[in-house]
A and B are shown apart, each in its own frame.
Chain A
Amino acid sequence: MRSIALIAAALVALAGCMEIEQTATPSRQGKYQGKPDSTPWSNQPLAAGPQWKQGDRASWEEQIKKRQLGQHEHRRIYQ
């Protein structure tokens, strides 16, 4: 009886281990979630277009945030 209960418990516990973890972890050596891809900020900005410092995530995020706020016409127009 005990062993059946143990097996059942093990099965229930194993059920929790099936899905592959999906948390957004910070890049591992330039790899996204185990698949190789480069980050947007690792590119040279285009000559005509938004500018940031190549490889500097903070500066890329800063400029993309500006761009996001460009969608906010109350701020864009009334300020």
Chain B
Amino acid sequence: MRTLSRMTGWLVLALAFALPAGAQQQPAADPDPIKTQQRRAIEQPGNNAPVWRNVQSGQPNYASIPGREAGVLIQPQARFPGQDAIATAGEAWRKFRNGPVTVYGGWLIVVVCAIIAGIYFVQGPIKVHEQPTGRLLPRFSVAERWAHWVMGISFCVLGATGLIMLFGKHVLLPVFGYTLFAWLSSLAKNLHNFVAPLFVVSLVVFILMYLKDNLPEKGDGAWLATSWRMFTGGKQPASGRFNGGEKVWYWVGVVAMCLVVSASGLVLLFPNFEQLRTTMQQMHIIHVVSAVLVTGFALAHIYMGTIGVEGAYGNMRDGVTDEAWAKEHHANWYQDVKSGKEAAKSGAAPQTQH
């Protein structure tokens, strides 16, 4: 019954979104609330409306105890995207985090996993059409591999611990019970806090190292337009060292989203720079929204880099790839390596290993 009435409540709320906002009327600002209050004390003693307006505005007043925002009685008002009413900032933040962020974020992760599972079980992994030649080409240098794995592993730790803190209450807590789940969450929070700086540093190193080969090229658009064929067993268009999809992941996922996640996360990680609650609420929302999006993106990347594409994982693990794989997936790069153009670019002699 209760669920039902709450569902009705949400439907009403959904309807309310459709109504024009700004139904509330703000009283005209009082130019000098102190004077008004002094006058009130004589004309209408007991009516302290100017003082209460001050309290509600969230502006700091005097408090003899030290502390950031100690003089703020009630947080200032705020409204997050999609909210139809203005509320105390903390309450607005709670509604946004517990509402759309948790619900749609959770579904995003579930849907991405379902799509990946669907592709894997229906279409199967993408295979190399030709037999492996046994001739290996160097694909990633040791430094590149380290940069990738330090970032990747710290990303996975941050992603997993972040998911525990956002969804664990709904998913794990009912299974684990309070004590075990609190222990796990505490571990998650501390890991999240201490792995984060490592991630930020490795992210910057990674972005710089992989920048050159991820600059947009002519064939990228064509690759993006026709690459879906590889999922149905077809051939994909030729591409350079990185194809259009990898470049989208690099620029959108790694550069844009991860930098946003890192920057907003740093604001939350060091609360000792006098940032106020309002800032932290906003940064938290930016952090969580971009983190959930990039996690969904990363799931796709992890799939393509492990079980989704035959041979892809070994490339990043060992740094070398088979000629057949290179010809299949990065035909232009293969040509460059073979012709020595790639070596001239990177300065390393192409070597063939057996």
Residues of A within 8 A of B (CB): 11-21, 35
Contacts and interface: CB of A to CB of B under 8 A. Distances in A.
A18 B99 CA distance: 7
A20 B14 CA distance: 20
A11 B103 CA distance: 8
A15 B2 contact: no
Contacts of A18: 98-99, 102-103, 170
Contacts of B7: 13, 16-17
Contact of B103 (A15, A20, A21): A15
Which 10 pairs of residues, A with B, have the shortest CB-CB distance? A16-B10, A16-B6, A15-B103, A16-B7, A13-B7, A19-B98, A12-B14, A18-B102, A18-B103, A15-B10
Contacts of B9: 16
A28 B104 CA distance: 34
B222 interface: no
Contacts of A19: 98
A36 B102 CA distance: 28
Contacts of B14: 12
Nearest to A7: B107
A11 B107 contact: yes
A17 B178 contact: no
Given A13-B10, A16-B7, A17-B6, A35 B178 contact: yes
Interface in B155-185: 169-170, 178
14 contacts: A11-B104, A12-B14, A13-B10, A13-B11, A14-B103, A15-B10, A15-B100, A16-B3, A16-B10, A17-B6, A18-B98, A18-B102, A18-B170, A19-B98
Contact of A12 (B3, B11, B178): B11
A25 B98 CA distance: 22
A37 to B, nearest CB: 13
Interface string B1-25: 0110011011100100000000000
Nearest to A8: B14
A12 B10 contact: yes
Nearest to B178: A35
A13 B3 CA distance: 9
B2 to A, nearest CB: 7
Contacts of B102: 18
Contacts of A16: 3, 6-7, 9-10
A18 B6 CA distance: 11
A17 to B, nearest CB: 6
A18 B167 CA distance: 10
B53 to A, nearest CB: 28
A12 B12 CA distance: 11
Nearest to B102: A18
Interface string B85-99: 000000000000011
Nearest to B107: A11
Contacts of A35: 178
Given A15-B10, A16-B3, A17-B7, 16 more contacts: A11-B104, A12-B10, A12-B11, A12-B14, A15-B99, A15-B100, A16-B6, A16-B7, A16-B9, A16-B10, A17-B6, A18-B99, A18-B103, A19-B98, A21-B2, A35-B178
A16 B103 CA distance: 9
Nearest to B9: A16
Nearest to B170: A18
